[in-house]
Amino acid sequence: MYDYKTERPSLFTESGIKTLMKIQANIRNATKHSGGVCTIGQVINVSGSSWTALAAVHYLQETGEIRVHEIEGWATQDGIIRVRNA
């Protein structure tokens, strides 16, 4: 089961930082023409651990770079991302 508190430390490894950078690029690309909105599922398709990719999304939310709106009844990876200032 995914737990952000457990996965967060993995973001501060070499592979975790690479994943975080890929997720940021994926979010920029996915929201370029959509007014700043995409789903988590659109951006977490990167090589490596899917839990680390999901933790990267939640880290970006924690730092205020994005907002994540999780929809009740949807899977965790199907939340909506809104880019800050978009």
Determine what percent of the chain falls in helix, strand and coil, rounding each to the nearest 5.
55, 15, 35
Quote the Cα angle for 47-2-4, to 5°.
90
| Mean pLDDT, rounded, of the chain | 85
Quote the Cα angle for 50-29-71, to 5°.
55
Q: Enumerate the domain spans of the chain.
A: 4-83
Q: How many Cβ atoms from other residues are within 10 Å of residue 2's Cβ?
A: 12
Residues 23-73: tens digit of each pLDDT: 999 998 988 888 888 888 888 888 888 899 999 999 999 999 988 887 676
Structure pTM? 0.84
In terms of C-beta density within 10 A (0-12 exposed, 13-18 middle, 19 or more buried), how is residue 61 classed?
middle
- On whether the 4-83 domain is CATH 1.10.10, my answer is yes
Contacts of 6 (CB under 8 A, 6+ apart): none
DSSP assigned state of 32: T
